[in-house]
Amino acid sequence: MVHPVKTEISFGHEGKLPIDIKGTVRLPKLPTRELVGEFLQDKKVTDELLCEHFLSMIKDIFTGIAAHDE
């Protein structure tokens, strides 16, 4: 099954960024492609695990920048 490619993303709110009570930008959750979703579910990879992994990568990047590590 071929999914159509979405060419534009609209956030609504008349072009303004939606902000929650804490002042955090509330962006919509982007839909996961069916195949990727099935793969992640089959491998038991959770959103929390992905967030932890990507935050670790970001931390490593900023630590390297701060240490002037090339």
- How many domains does the chain fold into? 1
Is 0.95 topped by the overall pTM? Answer: no
Residue 21 lies in a domain: no
Give a yes or no: residue 3 inside a domain. Answer: no
Tokens 């979703």, residue located:
37
Q: Answer whether residue 2 is part of any domain.
A: no
Structural domain includes residue 22: no
Q: Note the pLDDT of residue 8.
A: 63
At residue 61, the pLDDT reads 92
Q: DSSP secondary-structure letter at 42?
A: H
Q: State which residues of the chain have pLDDT below 70.
A: 1-20, 26-32, 70
What's the confidence (pLDDT) of residue 42?
93
| Domain enclosing residue 69, as ranges | 31-70
Residue 41 lies in a domain: yes
Q: How far apart are the first and last CA of the chain?
A: 44
In a domain, 13, yes or no: no
Q: Within a 13 Å sphere around the CA of 67, how many CA atoms are in the beta-carbon half? A: 8
Task: Check residue 48 and give its pLDDT.
Answer: 93
